[in-house]
Amino acid sequence: MRKGLLFVVFAIIIGSIALTFTGCGKKTPIPQDKKDYIGTWISRTQDTIVIRANGEGNAKVGSTTISGGSVEFPDKSTISIKAIGLGPTLKINQPPQEVEGKWQVVLDGTTYFKQ
């Protein structure tokens, strides 16, 4: 009886962990109207945001570092890069635009330049 109960508890724990990781790992390709965000963006303070066309991204913003996260645009004014539910959500102050031959975007008041 005790072995059976332990097996059931173990199976529930493993199943929950598997569902958590497979659900959080889904990546949705960047929408057509957000294609200008794709690329590597670096600020003057060396904060870095990488957005890939397949919806995967990396971020090093302040003390937060995310690798292989999911890039999402929850609404028209924010972008998030999260892995397992953790990571930055940034306010889009200025969408990507070309200024004097260089692409830039302003997120949370910080200007990032496309590399």
Q: At residue 79, what is the residue type?
A: I
Give the global pTM.
0.78
Q: pLDDT tens digit string along 5-37?
A: 555 555 466 544 443 443 455 789 999 999 999
Q: What does residue 46 show for φ and ψ, rounded to 5 degrees?
A: 70, 15
Contacts of 108 (CB under 8 A, 6+ apart): 61, 90, 91, 93
Residue 29 and residue 19: Cα distance in Å, rounded?
21
Q: At residue 54, what is the residue type?
A: N
The chain-wide mean pLDDT, for the chain, equals 87
- CATH 2.40.160 describes domain 28-114: no
Q: How many alpha carbons lie under 13 Å from residue 113 in its C-beta half-sphere? A: 9
